Chains A and B, each alone.
Chain A
């Protein structure tokens, strides 16, 4: 009936995006976000938000991903709270200008590198760790004093909606906004001019983001993925190694993580023992009917479910399944699956798996694995289990990846003193800890000169004496300078 019309949700188009950016620019121009107090307040509120809404966040993650509560509390909320705490403790040190040494060339002078906020930045997040990957970069953007628009992934709708609600409640919406939506909304946002775009996701969309950024000469951070290999040498504590691999693979969102061990490389001789140990440990962790285990996330949606089952059902590999392979389309679950000796040209070896399937590639000698890894694109992470010093050294020297871990998987993410980011196809830029602050800052070079001691040699007319002295000052040492001053030496 007339009078009780439903309020239509306004479409977020290019005009709306432009108005949003303008509004945030005004807020930024007012200087509000630059104050230390503002940054600290926002970070404290984010901490409070996590503490007070743990249940709701875990529930949203359960809805979107069937994520086990422990994973939600530890890997998303726990890590996020840690990031907030580190930033709260350190931001007062991070904003202090760094002194830079000056030399004789510019004597007398002093110099420093000043960190200043960039302005208005855009963070586009992913669906697999929807809270962590939205809010961890946000911590850096806030610590650096920027105004921010966050676009969470629509593939995790409950989390996206909760984020939108919570950020309005706890943070300063004159400077920090959430825009929900899919392709249309993201495109509208990408048409705007941002001072930085921080994107977490896949290589295909990353190219769209970078192309849009190129129009405005906007710098980007791209946190992507790749096939993170695990090289397993003989002569190790296989039980501990397999546990760590399982924890890093299936214990992290059931393999749907950017640093998830994607595939294993081991020797033909060692493989049987490895497979046996993996099977035993998997049963210990998830029981005999893993499809019913509450400790495994489900596959996020039917698209990815279909994608993954296709990888499993390909003729080339379907006969190589040595463990698992069970699936339930209705509940979107796939059991932890191991495939042995898959061919290099199979589908499963040519795309990032992002799921609970673990192929094992066999080589004759373990040293061959490095060339194998380097023949593909550079991954976000690479793992090696070995006790041999030389092999470890060779691994570090020759494998190029975002980050490397020896004798474990994925733990480097929790270390905030390490930069987390990719190289080549796995991304550009990095964050975590101070690197987050740096990613959202401009490092301005400042040089202070005085009027005392003006070197006339700088100015034309250029005479031979001036040339001699200039050469000595720029390239030579103190002896040359003395020589030049005394009129000796070459011109």
Chain B
């Protein structure tokens, strides 16, 4: 492995990956892969996760096409140096910020959106001119294989490598020296990645998760209510069966509207996924037995079981869990302390919807907070009094598709951000470059020191142009006594 990485470093040193044409060609290669191999991609996602092609397109293929086009359009601009404003006193100097690739970076991806979470960071790393190693998740083997064997035929494999494998390969990779590590996954492994990065002082981006709450206020309009319910239902169950870092984890609603909400949700689920969701093929499967049993276990507690008001049936053989709604499971139960990552939706009732702020703040900071409300004052409060990676009003999950918004967590939900230009920035070092001329110099810069020189420094720092003049003309007295031994 070391020799492979060494040759990648040599390749980076050759400067090949820095040219605009190389970056554009790689991005176009990626685009071609996605367009030409769409059928194979859908096939792989179906195999690994039972994802419906429309879901696959909406969440992975389509968004990748959008992101690549956004990068293709913006690349020249992103790569150009940015002139920096200087104060007038810095006469005959210029300063600019020059974007520079970091070198050799490592991208570790996750299994729930195996294409999307591998290629979104890859787009940024390519756009920024780096060489990179991608390690897809072994838990989505068909996709991992597709990336390693098919995608690479569209790219410059001297600069972009895909290394497949499980935890032991991951460990080996983490021991190497990287210029950046980009990790998507759980907080547990996030800590392992960051600890490994310490050895070489490697900066990291950690895209983790958390319990993303959805606060649901009351609505007078039934149209609004229906839209809110539809958006919640599709964001939870229609999004990799709730196995998404930004999926709605649980709902907070006022007691008096809870039963209405439950009824509306039941109807919405039936509408979207049919009476027999397992047959309708519109809901993804649970990724593997381990996670299936983990989810099954969440419902094993008697008190939790009792709170199930809809769904609950599980098919271990087919790794399928039907959309399940729970009403007020005990707050100390695992389903309310751990990130669910599955199609189970607890609804917690509160006396007043404003109590949701305190409730949310009692838990670690999540990747996203969703609030369905038209109350402007409540919106302001949520904005100011809660903290999360992102905040969305009256919808969920869709912030993923906005290129102009940074996508990342805070606290337990992560470090760093990407998407759009933020992806480029995250794999770039913005180098400050200042140029001076030989023509002007401030004689007072140099020792031996005296009071006049000190005053000149002071007036220069204050941009006190009149003061400078006065000092030079000898009209300002130095108040300090510089004879300190």
Residue pair B387, A475 in contact (C-beta under 8 Å): no
Q: What is the CA–CA distance of A50 and B34 in the complex, to the nearest angstrom?
A: 60
Nearest CB in chain B: distance from A253 CB, A: 13
Contact check, B434 vs A408: say whether CB atoms are below 8 A apart.
yes
Please tell me which one of the listed residues A210, A446, A459 contacts residue B197 in the complex, with CB atoms under 8 A apart: A210
Interchain residue pairs with CB less than 8 A apart (22): A59-B484, A210-B197, A219-B415, A236-B438, A243-B446, A401-B431, A402-B432, A403-B431, A406-B433, A411-B90, A411-B434, A415-B87, A418-B97, A418-B432, A446-B390, A447-B405, A449-B395, A450-B394, A470-B57, A474-B57, A474-B62, A475-B69
Interface segment, one of A111-119, A149-157, A349-357: A111-119
User: Could you give, for residues 429-462 of chain A, a 1 whenever the CB lies within 8 Å of some chain B CB and a 0 otherwise?
Assistant: 1000000000000111111111100100011111
Q: How many residues of B contact A (CB 8 A)?
A: 107
B102 within 8 Å of A (CB atoms): yes
Is B417 at the interface (CB under 8 A from chain A)?
yes
| A residues contacting the other copy or chain, number (CB 8 A) | 105
* Cβ–Cβ contact B230 & A454, under 8 A: yes
B357 at the A/B interface (Cβ < 8 Å)?
A: no
Q: A407 and B399: CB pair below 8 A? A: no
- Point out the residue from B203, B224, B273, B431 that lies within 8 Å of A460, measured CB to CB: B273
Q: Does B474 lie at the interface of the complex (its beta carbon under 8 Å from any beta carbon of A)?
A: no
State the majority secondary structure of interface residues on A.
Answer: mixed
A81 interfacial by beta-carbon distance below 8 Å: yes
Q: Give min CB distance, B223 to chain A, whole Å.
A: 7
CB distance from A291 to the nearest CB of B (A): 15
Cα–Cα, bound, A66→B302 (Å) = 72
CB within 8 Å for A445 and B387 given contacts A407-B438, A428-B201: no
A100-B402, A415-B84, A461-B282 known; A446-B201 Cβ under 8 A: no
State whether A412 touches B399 (Cβ < 8 A).
no
Give the one of A101, A398, A444 with max B CB within 10 A: A444
Name the A residues within 8 Å of B389 (CB-CB): 444-445
Known: A103-B403, A447-B391. A295 touches B447 (CB 8 A): yes
B434 pairs with A412, CB closer than 8 A: yes
Docked Cα-Cα span, A405 to B98, in Å, equals: 12
Known: A100-B405, A210-B197. A447 touches B432 (CB 8 A): no
A46 CB–B CB distance under 8 Å: no
Q: How far is the CB of A87 from the nearest CB of chain B, in Å?
A: 15
CA distance A321 to B222 in the complex (A): 86
B434 touches A101 (CB 8 A): no
Chain B: minimal CB distance from A110 (Å) = 10
With A79-B461, A207-B201, A415-B434 given, name 6 new contacts (CB 8 A). A116-B387, A285-B447, A400-B429, A447-B399, A447-B405, A458-B58
Flag whether A203 is at the interface (Cβ < 8 A).
Answer: yes
A243 contacts which chain B residues (CB < 8 A)?
441, 445-446
Which stretch, B20-28, B304-312, B324-332, B449-457, touches the partner chain A? B449-457
Distance (whole angstroms) from the CB of A489 to the closest CB of chain B: 14
In the complex, B194 has a CB within 8 A of chain A: yes
A247 to B392, CA, bound (A): 53
Query: Are B405 and A396 in contact (CB-based, < 8 A)?
Result: no
Q: Which of A207, A214, A460 contacts B282 (CB 8 A)?
A: A460
**Bound Cα distance from A394 to B228, whole angstroms:** 57
Interface secondary structure of B, over-half rule: mixed
A7 → chain B, closest Cβ, in Å? 34
Query: A400's contact among B191, B431, B432, B457, by CB below 8 Å, is which?
Result: B431
Q: State the 6 A-B residue pairs at the shortest beta-carbon distance, nearest first.
A: A462-B54, A214-B194, A474-B62, A445-B390, A403-B432, A445-B405
Indicate whether A82 sits within 8 Å of B461 (C-beta atoms), given known contacts A406-B434, A442-B410, A444-B387.
yes
A445-B458 in contact (CB<8A): no
Per-residue contact bits, chain A 282-304, to B (CB 8 Å; 1 contact, 0 not)? 00011100000111000000000
Q: Is the beta-carbon distance between B238 and A111 smaller than 8 angstroms? A: no
Question: A105 at interface (Cβ–Cβ under 8 A)?
Answer: yes
Query: Are B230 and A459 in contact (CB-based, < 8 A)?
Result: yes
Q: Is the pair A404, B433 in contact by a Cβ cutoff of 8 Å?
A: yes
Q: How far does the Cβ of B348 sit from chain A's closest Cβ, in whole Å?
A: 22
Whether B447 contacts A461 by the Cβ 8 Å rule is no
For residue A471, which residues in chain B have a CB less than 8 angstroms away from its CB? 57, 62
What's the least CB distance linking A170 to chain B, in Å?
A: 21
B398–A102 CB distance below 8 A = no
Q: A217-B187, A470-B54 are in contact. Are A447 and B390 (CB under 8 A)?
A: yes
Q: Which of B120-152 contact A (CB under 8 A)?
A: none
Interface centre among B58, B199, B272, B406 (most CB of A within 10 A): B58
Tell me if A246 is interfacial: C-beta within 8 Å of chain B.
yes
As a 0/1 sequence over residues 238 to 277 of chain A, the CB contacts with chain B under 8 angstroms (1 = contact) are: 0011011011000100000000000000000000000000
Decide yes or no whether A420 CB sits under 8 A from chain B. yes
Q: CA A213 – CA B191 in complex, angstroms?
A: 9
B52 within 8 A of A: yes
In the complex, are the beta carbons of A448 and B434 less than 8 A apart? no
Give Cα distance in the complex from A74 to B449, angstroms: 11
B392 lies within 8 A of A449 (CB): yes
- Point out the residues of chain B lying under 8 angstroms from A462, CB to CB: 52-55, 282
Residues of B within 8 A of A412 (CB): 95, 432, 434
Contact present for A449 and B66 (CB under 8 Å): no
Counting chain B CB atoms within 10 Å of each CB, the highest count among A79, A214, A427 belongs to: A214
Instruction: Say whether B431 contacts A68, CB under 8 Å.
Output: no
B63 in the interface, Cβ–Cβ < 8 Å? yes
Q: Which of B403-458 contact A (CB under 8 A)?
A: 403-407, 410-412, 414-417, 429-438, 441, 445-449, 453-454, 457-458
A105 to B66, Cβ gap below 8 A? yes
Using a CB-CB cutoff of 8 Å, which residues 30-89 of chain A contact chain B?
Answer: 34, 54, 58-59, 62, 68-70, 73-74, 78-79, 81-82, 85
